[in-house]
Structure 1
Amino acid sequence: MTTNAGPTVRRTVLTLPAAPLGPENPLPALRPLDPPRTVDDDTRRAMPRDMARRIGYEPLRTPLPTRVLDGYGRERRATGFDAIVIENDRLRATVLPGLGGRVHSLHHKPAGRELLHRNPVFQPAAFALNGAWFSGGIEWNIGATGHTALTCAPLHAAVVPAPDGGAMVRLWEWERLRDLPFQVDLWLPDGSDFLYAAVRIRNPHERPAPVYWWTNMAVPEDRRILVPADEAWHHGYTHALRRVTVPRQDGEDRTYPQNSAHSGDWFYEVPDGSRRWIAALDADGEGFVQTSTDPLRGRKLFVWGHGRGGRHWQEWLGGPAGGPGYAEIQAGLARTQLEHLRLEAGEELSWLEAYGALSADPRAVHGADWGAALAETGARLEERLPRADVDAAYRAWRSHAADTEPGPLLATGSGWGALEVLRGRFTLPGTPFPESTLGAPQEPWRDLLRTGVLPAPAPGEPPGPSLVAPHWRDMLETAPADPYTEYHLGVAQWHAGDRAQAVRSWERGLASAAARWPLLRCLAVADREGGHTERAADRYAEAFDDLCASSGTDGTPTLVALAREALDALLAAGRPGAAREVWTRLPDAVRERGAYRLLEARLLVAEGDLPGARAVFDAGFEVPDLREGARTLGELWAAVSDEPLPHRYDFRMRPA
């Protein structure tokens, strides 16, 4: 489709070697996948007051109400992804609306070069707040500290007139971790070397909400990262947050990603009043730059490190082994990613970003004088895209385009936004959530809204997704107290931090439940969180027995997920015999999966069969959803061998 003779928007299909995303994990995510990031009291006292306050504000308790995505594997096949191409005579941007609106590629035509790290594959890995994440391009991280739960989710997309009269692509969705709608408007002005992205987050509720945003841009790592700052907050493998100088730290110039042995984050202190930008320039002074209006204050560099674990992670995410690595440069609403901002009831946040090509004198860019390098880069940016032009483009967008209703959909997101608009009767100009997008996951909750009763699933079917926002929790508390409603009420109470009441709700439901395993599993999680390891093991074993009795052992996603948790709990309780009973009831196809091969090795170690556990390693396995920074493989290997950890199992991102 074309809206004028200049910039164009069209739909296409991008084909990549891709691992299928697989089914959602049907068990509610009652625990975060990673422990929350914290800072000690001494560090907090040394921070600016607003930074310290934001670090303590509303950290995420769980990934609820989203479901964990951990059903993917490592076998890739050619797969077509719906894509939207935005193009002018200078740039071509390729956007994947079905994968969180990721900008997969930004191609600069005059130079004939890709400005971003464009991942040649789609390979999920367990880095997002709810599991599956993939690397490369430009991603929109909204919700809470980490990679967004929308990483692999579809967004709504449509064409809207841009402020200059051209074509603009609007992406929008309802972010469920914080219960907030947002939009990203992308356009290429005629003849421009920069892709514009105008972002808006709205709080339509009658209560304040925590807000988090970091735009993550993957760039080749053989660059120098330039940002107008002389200091940064460094978050490294020790998990401490400390203030350091830029560019040199501990004797090395850390603005070159390849100079760092281990993974780390640098959150730069851009002085108030300075233009906000970050650039990644190669040996010839060529590369990529991002700039924005002032509300997007933070800038960051993340590196994987050149150690074996860091290199392995890069191969794991995109490969091939020995291929070029990448780093991440980011821009966010706060100084660091440990912070969340407060968005008042009825208020909104908005800003404009621009991404494009930049050329600067390589002698200055790579010279020893940091100030001169910044001055040269900043001057060239000002020539290519004046700060005043960015501010003017934002004002024009906010006045003439932000609320424009979109045309026909190019892509359709979830129905959760429609459910929230239906409940709250919200008016959100520019981002419609029509009732026609409601689907099967939302239907029971629409019934609760209309009738006050939450309908139970068909016999033998697992519980559907839970909703946990205060307004849904209130409705569950007044609904008829059947076992299914008590189950969902307990999930909502747990998410709200009222764990004792959650346990009481689950226990009430258990007293008359036909299918006991959903409630037993929730109680088992509560026991593990409370340090009651033996009781947790008992409840997991009973839950597994109940599921097998009602549904069989045919390898359904529910059986796969529950067995994995039960095996882990039984081994943690020192009960390898009971764990072996669960193991023997699993289908062969499940036992052959990488995560279960790892559990088998743990089970053999617990049984005292170290040669058998070593044989599992020697046969080879891959755990697709291994978490970033996980040390499990190394620790288990040390129990079965005195030899160095083989490369295929080495994902350690910090010193041994």
Structure 2
Amino acid sequence: MTTIRREVLTLPAAPLGPDNPLPPLRPLDEAHRIDERDRAGLPRDMARQVGYEPLRSLLPVQVRDGYDRERAPRGLDALVIENDRLRATVLPALGGRIASLHHKPTDRELLYVNPVLQPANFALNGAWFSGGIEWNIGATGHTTLSCSPVHAARVPAPDGGEMLRLWEWERLRDLPFQVDLWLPEGSDFLYVGARIRNPHERPVPTYWWSNIAVPEDRRVLAPADEAWHFGYERRLRLVPVPEYDGVDRTYPLNSTYAADYFYEVPEDRRRWIAALDADGHGLVQTSTDTLRGRKLFVWGTGPGGRRWQEWLTEPGTGGYCEIQAGLVRTQLEHVRLEAESEVSWLEAYGPLDTLPEGDWHTALRRAEDRLAAALPRADVDAAYDAWLPYADTEPGERLATGSGWGALEVLRTGWKLPGTPFDEDTLGAPQRPWLHLLRAGSLPGPEHHEPPGGTLVARPWRDMLETTAATPLAEYHLGVAQWHGDDRAQAVRSWERGLKSATDRWPLLRCLAVADQEDGHRERAADRYAEAFDDLCACRADAAEGDDAAWAAAAAALGREAIGALLAVDRTADARAVWERLDPATRARGRFRLTEGELLAAEGRTADARAVFDEGFEVADLREGADSIGLLWARLDESPLPARYDFRMWPDEE
């Protein structure tokens, strides 16, 4: 019989640390944007969906950049669903990721299992880790829930057994979703029923890609003769499969540079993708036709790709690639989910045994025949039909608790969401001031000079902020919501009004500084950043004891931005003054060692800046595709960038 149980998975893990308390006001730094030269040649539906409400901002989500690279053994809560054939290990506190899928009869692991938990800056909001199967919802990129808890519970399964239900509220698009996992008795396949609901009275853009990490010494098979190739040069073009530019790209290790291959699966073909080793063993994923897209991501064998692979795990660990399945052909597109509607599908994950070598179409035919024998297409459709009536079943025993944001939205709207309850007892400290605004019409002020918490920016919350008492804190939050709504002039007016009577001025000054930067007023932005940092230091000195971790995070985030703004207008002495007031522990972090090198270079102390490289540093939150380390090195030394600092993903970056 299928069982669901709790376990503790112990791994060397780096702590996530505190979130960045500064609201992310700047445009989203997302690498997946199409060069305008390629738009005209896209199929009409793809072009429409590429242009359909791409994400402009992370708000209301905060950036998660407080992690480091100091790993120590840590117990992670896990939920294990198991039958006599398969064992799936799920991490509910980390986005509900499937960390392992083990086939018991052959004693084979079907996924790439990362032996460590090392956050890195790949999610839309920062912290992400590699390995397993993750559920990407929201917008182009890795979900903001990568390192966040989700709700989990037992639910009756269609075959009379139990399912493991995962559900949460996705905040970028304000949509609830669920993932139901079950293992029919005797099945070699894990079934996954997924649903996204739009309870709003308006259409909402949505996005989904199931991201599966597998060892890279595989051949990847998918039923297509063409693929949309997208690399870090941001060009999207249709290329042949399997061979492109004289190389068979279905072997991940044959590519030099990182790239996405979005397979053009014909409408009448079964949706599936597999990764098989040289002996013909591996994983296959298939689904109902709603999950249309299939993708291969490769890191490549170039120095940047190898460095990233090493960065995400431990030296000497085998590399991985990703096979994925999504709602549309590419991850550059978003789907229109109509008002008060939903989209759902079923996926199946299991072993596949067939030789992948040789002629492409012969290999595909062998794989499809083997898949048809192991799990007929009709059985997947039948499993979906059987699951759908159970999607609204209320959960039984609760196994994990996610965030309180869904509960807050349900309280605001009165929405009924059968199967995914967002109960009031999940409300916590982050929701408390907004619950007060909802029920009492006022926003309570912070105690003891605390840094302000996160902001809600959806129109109903903005309307409440516009009608509540115009305190400095309310004007701060209102300005952030107006900024997110692209009413930037009004946002600046709200922040300036709040500044007139604010005791703690630095949050408002920082927002105004960002507005100045976006408008090209760099000197005024530098002035406001310097004033904001002075005020933060004064507020911190007056704050009550016991909350210094929040202040340290605020000082680090604001200090980093202030130094950058001051160096941009050649005010090195002022930048140095900010640097000297940062906590010693902050200055020792790799990100700030790089900042120190930039500051030393700006002061003309080239030898000292070069010594920072010699002493060694690791920028834990280095962004995918970032070139800040290479740019500083080029100012200091004409020799090639040392390998330990080389994260470049494309030759044009050299």
- Structure 2 length as normaliser, TM-score? 0.97
Q: Cα deviation per residue 1:500-521 (whole Å; 9 max; x = unaligned)?
A: 2111111111121111100010
1:330 is aligned with what amino acid? Q
Query: Which residue of structure 1 lines up, in the alignment, with residue 530 of structure 2?
Result: 541
The residue type equivalent to 1:78 in the other structure is P
Distance 2:113 2:485 in 1: 39
Task: Please name the residue that 1:385 is paired with.
Answer: 375
1:411 matched to which residue of 2? 400
What do the CA deviations read for 1:41-61 (whole angstroms, capped 9, x no partner)? 442221111110111111111
Equivalent position amino acid for 1:18 in 2: A
Letter in 2 for 1:586: L
Q: Aligned to 1:552, which of 541, 549, 567?
A: 541
* Conservation of the 8 A alpha-carbon contact between 2:28 and 2:55: no
1:39 equivalent to 2:28? Answer no
Task: Give SS of 2:94's match.
Answer: coil
**Rounded Cα–Cα distance in structure 1 between residues aligned with 2:615 and 2:582:** 20
- Secondary structure in structure 2 of the residue aligned to 1:46: coil
Give the AA of the match of 2:357.
H
2:470 corresponds to 1:481: yes
**Residues of 2 paired with 1:69 and 1:329: CA distance?**
26
Shift of 1:106: 0.3
1:496 to 485, 490, 495: 485
Aligned mates of 2:15, 2:375 — CA distance in 1: 40
Contact 2:287 2:346 in 1 (8 A): yes
Query: 1:581 is paired with a residue of what secondary structure?
Result: helix
Aligned residues: 645
Counterpart for residue 3 of structure 1: none
Structure 1 residue 36, shift from structure 2 partner: 6.0
Partner of 1:652: 648
Matches within 5 A, 1:176-215: 176-215=171-210
- The answer as to 2:150 corresponding to 1:155 is yes
**1:175 and 1:622 mapped to 2: Cα distance?**
32
- Is 1:132 aligned with 2:127? yes
Q: Secondary structure at the match of 2:40?
A: helix
| Structure 2 residue 633 is the aligned partner of structure 1 residue 637 | yes
| Alpha-carbon displacement from aligned partner over 1:212-263 (angstroms, at most 9, x marks no partner) | 1000000000000100001111001211111111111111001110011010
Per-residue displacement from partner, 1:473-517 (whole Å, max 9, x unpaired)? 111111111111110011111111221211111111112111110
Partner of 2:137: 142
Tell me, yes or no, if the aligned pair for 1:67 and 1:130 is still in contact at 8 Å: yes
Q: In structure 2, do the counterparts of structure 1 residues 330 and 441 end up closer, same or farther at CA, with 3 Å as the change threshold?
A: same
> What letter is aligned with 1:411?
A
1:593 to 585, 589, 592: 589
Residue 37 of structure 1 deviates from its aligned partner by 3.5
The alignment status of 1:12 with 2:7, answered yes or no, reads: yes
The one-letter code matched in structure 2 to 1:476 is: L
* Alpha-carbon contact 1:33-1:131 (below 8 Å) kept: no
User: How far does residue 419 in structure 1 lie from its aligned partner after superposition?
Assistant: 0.3
User: Match for 1:328 among 302, 307, 322?
Assistant: 322
CA distance in 2 between partners of 1:352 and 1:307 (Å): 37
- Structure 2 residue aligned with 1:289: 284
Is residue 576 from structure 1 mapped to residue 566 from structure 2 by the alignment?
A: no
**Which range moved further: 294-303 or 36-45?**
36-45
> Is 2:429 the counterpart of 1:434?
no
Secondary structure class of the residue paired with 1:172: strand
How far apart, CA to CA, are the structure 1 residues paired with 2:281 and 2:217? 11
* Structure 1 residue 322: Cα displacement: 3.3
The Cα of 1:526 is off from its aligned counterpart by 1.3
Distance in 2 (alpha carbons) for counterparts of 1:535 and 1:186: 54
Letter in 2 for 1:366: E
- Within 5 A, what are the aligned runs for 1:295-306? 295-306=290-301
* Residues 219-618 of structure 1 mapped to structure 2, 5 A cutoff: 219-319=214-314, 321-360=315-354, 362=355, 365-367=356-358, 369-399=359-389, 401-552=390-541, 556-618=552-614
- Using the TM superposition, give the Cα deviation of residue 643 of structure 1 relative to its aligned residue in structure 2, in angstroms: 1.9
User: Take 1:116 and 1:561, find their aligned partners in 2: how far apart are those partners?
Assistant: 37
Q: Residue deviations 1:563-592, cap 9 Å, x none?
A: 111111111222211101111112222111
Q: TM-score, normalised by structure 1?
A: 0.97
Q: Secondary structure at the match of 1:511?
A: helix
Taking the aligned partners of 1:21 and 1:268, their CA distance within structure 2 comes to: 35
Name the structure 1 match of 2:545: none
CA shift at 1:32, angstroms?
A: 4.5
Q: Distance in 2 between matches of 1:35 and 1:184?
A: 26
Query: For 1:307 and 1:279, how far apart are their aligned partners in 2?
Result: 24
The answer to whether the 8 A contact 1:234-1:266 is kept is yes
Paired letter, 1:640: L
Deviation at 1:459, TM superposition (A): 3.6
What CA deviation, in whole Å up to 9, does each residue of 1:58-100 have, x standing for no partner?
1111111111110011010100011000111111000000000
Change (3 A) 1:36 1:453: farther
- Give the whole-Å Cα distance in 2 for the aligned partners of 1:41 and 1:549: 48
| Residue of structure 2 in register with 1:102 after alignment | 97
Which AA in structure 2 matches 1:578? D
CA distance in 1, matches of 2:570, 2:333: 39
Q: Is the 8 A contact 2:28 2:56 kept in 1?
A: no
Identical aligned residues as a percent: 70
1:32 and 1:129 in contact (8 A); partners too: no
Distance 1:531 1:347 in 2: 43
Does 444-453 or 528-537 show the bigger shift? 528-537
Give the letter for the 2:363 counterpart.
Answer: A
The alignment partner of 1:20 has SS state of: coil
Cα distance in 1, alignment partners of residues 204 and 481 from structure 2? 17
When structure 1 is superposed on structure 2, of 98-107 and 501-510 the one drifting more is: 501-510
Q: Is the 8 A contact 1:33 1:130 kept in 2?
A: no
- Aligned-partner SS, 2:136: strand
Which stretches of structure 1, 4 residues or longer, exceed 4 Å deviation after superposition?
Answer: none
C-alpha distance in 1 between matches for 2:394 and 2:134: 24
* AA at the equivalent of 1:288: L
Deviations 1:319-359 (A, max 9, x none): 2x232110001100011111111111100000000011000
Compute the displacement of 1:609 (Å).
Answer: 0.7
1:294 alignment partner AA: D
Which has the larger displacement, 449-458 or 213-222?
Answer: 449-458
Shift of 1:33: 5.0
Give, in angstroms, the shift of residue 535 of structure 1. 1.4
Give, in whole Å, the separation in 1 of the partners of 2:636 and 2:31.
31
Query: Contact 1:304–1:311 at 8 Å: present in 2 too?
Result: yes
Q: Deviations over 1:353-386 (max 9, x none)?
A: 00110001x2xx210x211111111111111000
Q: Distance in 2 between matches of 1:405 and 1:322?
A: 46
Moved more, 183-192 or 550-559: 550-559
Label 1:617 to 1:40 Cα distance change in 2 as closer, same or farther (>3 A).
Answer: closer
Secondary structure of 1:556's counterpart equals: helix
Which sections of structure 1, spanning at least 5 residues, go unmatched? 1-5
RMSD (CA atoms): 1.1
Partners of 2:202 and 2:137 in 1: how far apart?
Answer: 19
